[in-house]
């Protein structure tokens, strides 16, 4: 596992963010291992997370 969280306390917030993004795109995530997701499902969750991060950044610039 090469992904390292710089601020360990942020893990809970990232997990909540991931669950929120998954529910918005209609993917049911469970706590822990989600290796049974298809590539399409995992990609849609990641894409939604990036979309929300960009929107948040753009709103902060205003």
Asked if residue 11 lies in contact with residue 5, where contact means CB atoms within 8 angstroms, the answer is: yes
- pTM for this structure? 0.79
When pLDDT is averaged across residues 35-52 and rounded to a whole number, the result is 95
pLDDT over 90, % of the chain? 65
Give the Cα separation of 58 and 46 in Å (integer).
18
Position 1 pLDDT exceeds 70: no
- Predicted pLDDT of residue 2: 67
Please state, in angstroms and as integers, the Cα–Cα distance from residue 29 to each residue in 6, 19, 21, 22, 38, following that order. Answer: 24, 7, 10, 7, 12
């Amino acid at each position: 596992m090469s992904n390292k969280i710089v601020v360990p306390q942020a893990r809970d917030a990232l997990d909540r963010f991931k669950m929120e993004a998954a529910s918005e795109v209609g993917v049911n995530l469970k706590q822990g291992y989600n290796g049974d997701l298809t590539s399409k499902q995992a990609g849609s969750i990641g894409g939604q997370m990036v979309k929300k991060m960009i929107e948040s950044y753009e709103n902060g610039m205003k």
